[in-house]
A and B are shown apart, each in its own frame.
Chain A
Amino acid sequence: MQSVVEFDNVGLRYGTGAETLTDLSFTLYPGSFYFLTGASGAGKTSLLKLLYLAHRPSRGAIRMFGHDAITLPRERLPGFRRRIGVVFQDFRLVQHLSAFDNIALPLRIAGIQEKDLQGPVTEMLAWIGLTERADARPATLSGGEQQRVAIARAVIGRPEVLVADEPTGNVDPDMARRLLQLFAALNRLGTTVVVATHDIHLLQEIENAQMMRLDKGRLSDPTGQLKHPPRPLVLKN
């Protein structure tokens, strides 16, 4: 099976400090669901940054969508990034844009016509329960609402890879479950999902999800499946 992401002996170092990530080697396959766990400071966010091409590694090799991501020319990065949806830990909503405009941002960047994005954005707002708050600025939204907008923004472009950093940290259990169902639905459509989380209950929601655990920048593979094709996904009811 063609992989989506391949890490080979990857290390990441900020400045001249010690390595934040060390000797990471794994493969992510299309349509798979991965949870990334680890203690605070283990390097989860750094690993996600490599996945959404915000950083280049200090060493090792990364292949994404069949291409070498290390030597990828800068002008080709936007095309790759449009294939990746990101939910940032701190949401990173654009504060002076409404919830609607925040969600529509990836589509507008991709050049989607205004008439073609009204429907999907409105539908997404309804799905996350924020239709009434479409015109609200992020500062007037609660933490949970902001998180939902951030997730909607990440998934609206139907990315091939979805990377989410603690996506359910600020929502109630019901909403967390609904958001996870959204991720699972995208996953069923073929999106590879990587969710970094501390929430062990979340890990149990998706039965066939694979788990990566980071410990002081090194990766362990508790399920032993990272180098193997995933099994079909089954959601627990």
Chain B
Amino acid sequence: MLLDFALPAHDRKLIPEGRLSGPMPWVIAIMLFLTILVAAAGVTLADAARKGGADLASKVTVQIIEPDPVARAAQKAAVARSLRSVPGVSGVNPVPEGEVRNLLEPWLGSGIIDADIPVPALVDFRIDRIPNGQMLRAMQRRLESVAPNIRLDSHSSWMAPFFDLMSALVWLSVGVFIMLLVATSAVVILAVRSTLNTHRGTIEIMQMMGGTDLQAARLFQRRVALDALLGGVVGFAAATAVILALGGRFAAVEPGLLSGATFPWYGWVLLAIIPLAVMGLAMLMARWTVVSALKKML
């Protein structure tokens, strides 16, 4: 199909210059701009969900509920020791009491915490896989031997709605991406049909002289490919500028749920492929439209 670019100059003259161009490259540029942005959003979300999901979902926090501060501290150390001896457990982190108080202070106030409310001791750790209920129950039984009143919070359980949302957004972006490709194809089909009607006389003469359907289709394919290429370059450049600008904004966001939202290297490869894929799609649509239309003629 790429050979269709290499039409001799005299063949190119058969359909006059500038008939398919005009608004066509700009429409394709806008469609590609939107397509690339949607693809970039989808890739970013998918990557963030993958990284963040793996990072957060494997985290577990042990809450040690013990009113006596001395016993609580002892149990905290014992839980940490016990966890470090479990295979597959890493990153055991007894959370300092001051940090826990700081977390609660905005809701409860400093005075009340100090005076009246016993703050649970926390120990964070990571498991080499996303824990299921059975694993957590086994872990709980093991830790209860050193700290009888504990609760295990798997981050995967409370993060699940968030990652469900992320997953839904990724699928939404895939859906919008496909719809934009369909809309781009429709634009190409309409433009080719219009041009075919304009040049029906020339095409009929070519056919009467023994021109094949593919010879006629190549004339349109080349024009459409050039328009798609021009639109693709413009759309890609604009979308890249937006992605880079948004990337800078993301980098300035405080670490948190969005901290994993970076644009991966393979995302750039994917985005670079999109204009070429759209060009190929446009050429296929042009060929299909012309050959289908010509089949209705003898």
By a beta-carbon cutoff of 8 Å, the part of chain A in contact with chain B is 52-56, 74-75, 77-82, 86, 92, 94, 96-97, 101, 104-106, 108-110, 114, 157
Contact = CB atoms under 8 A, between A and B. Distances in A.
A77 B298 contact: yes
Interface residues of B, number: 20
Given A94-B14, A94-B202, A52 B208 contact: yes
Contact of B10 (A75, A101, A106, A157): A101
B256 interface: no
A97 B202 CA distance: 10
B208 A54 contact: yes
Contact of A74 (B16, B202, B210, B295): B295
A95 to B, nearest CB: 8
Which has the most chain B C-beta neighbours within 10 Å: A54, A56, A101, A108? A108
A109 B298 contact: no
Nearest to A80: B210
A221 B295 CA distance: 36
Interface in B178-217: 201-202, 204-212, 215
Is the contact region of chain B dominated by helix, strand, or loop, or is it mixed? helix
A62 to B, nearest CB: 13
Please list the 4 inter-chain residue pairs (A to B) with the smallest Cβ-Cβ separation, ordered nearest first: A82-B210, A81-B210, A78-B210, A106-B209
B8 interface: yes
Contacts of A96: 13, 16
B10 to A, nearest CB: 6
B209 A81 contact: yes
Interface string B7-33: 010110110100000000000000000
Contact of B8 (A86, A94, A114): A114
Contacts of B209: 81-82, 86, 105-106, 109, 157
A109 B215 contact: yes
30 contacts: A53-B298, A54-B208, A54-B298, A56-B298, A74-B295, A75-B212, A77-B298, A78-B210, A78-B212, A80-B210, A81-B207, A81-B208, A81-B210, A82-B210, A86-B209, A94-B14, A94-B201, A94-B205, A96-B13, A97-B14, A104-B10, A105-B205, A105-B206, A105-B209, A106-B210, A109-B209, A109-B211, A110-B210, A114-B10, A157-B209
Given A82-B210, A106-B210, A108-B11, A92 B298 contact: no
B41 to A, nearest CB: 45
B205 to A, nearest CB: 5
A114 B10 CA distance: 9
Contacts of A52: 208
A94 to B, nearest CB: 5
A52 B11 CA distance: 23
A74 B295 CA distance: 8
Contacts of B208: 52, 54, 81, 86
Interface string B60-101: 000000000000000000000000000000000000000000
B119 to A, nearest CB: 83
A77 B209 CA distance: 10
Given A74-B295, A92-B201, A101 B13 contact: yes
A206 B91 CA distance: 105
